[in-house]
Amino acid sequence: MSFLFGSRSSKTFKPKKNIPEGSHQYELLKHAEATLGSGNLRMAVMLPDGEDLNEWVAVNTVDFFNQINMLYGTITDFCTEESCPLMSAGPKYEYHWADGTNIKKPIKCSAPKYIDYLMTWVQDQLDDETLFPSKIGVPFRKNFMSVAKTILKRLFRVYAHIYHQHFDSVIQLQEEAHLNTSFKHFIFFVQEFNLIDRKELAPLQELIEKLTSKDR
């Protein structure tokens, strides 16, 4: 969770998305942080007894956005138009941006441009009260889970880009433990609720097997 990063550099790529204190979602986030603190990530991602799956996915999606926001914020100096003219995850995987609204036909763009589009788009979804209701008793839309899956699938691409293109910088900044813990938590979460197709995870399949094999 975001608390892993403590009071270190708080540079983020986009403004942090806060969950309102005192809300039920805030309590859920605190529960998640407490179980994460126990060190058992498989247990930490499980749906708490009596809780709503949509709400649990919503709280964790916001938190993963904040984590990736922070992780990418640490390496923005290294991810430039010159160093990353394409949004890729190794030589085999290249991503083109489309959001279905402003940009309907996928476009080729640099990694910083793609990630800017992506994080802005995610932020817009998280800020939409009809999609991510913060008030108790407001129901989730019927298409909530499919939107959440798209958000998580796209956030995965930022992890994939960082690992493939910027891991040397991550090591140089001594951020690898944070990156690995955050990504492991993310993978356990999407595996627990089957939120990302296996083929989408292919760019980091070896790493996923390595990180998760110890916890089977």
Question: Which residues are known binding-site members for Zn(2+)?
Answer: 79, 84, 161, 166
Distance CA 29, CA 157 (A): 24
Following DSSP, what letter does each residue of 70-89 receive, concatenated? HHHHHHTTTS-TTT-SS-BS
CB-based contact 189:45 (threshold 8 Å): yes
CB-based contact 89:163 (threshold 8 Å): yes
Q: What are residue 97's DSSP bridge partners?
A: 107
CA atoms within 13 A on the CB side of 179: 26
Annotated binding site: 79, 84, 161, 166
Buried b / exposed e along 192-212 (16+ C-beta atoms within 10 A): bbebbeeebbebbeebbeebe
Distance CA 81, CA 56 (A): 37
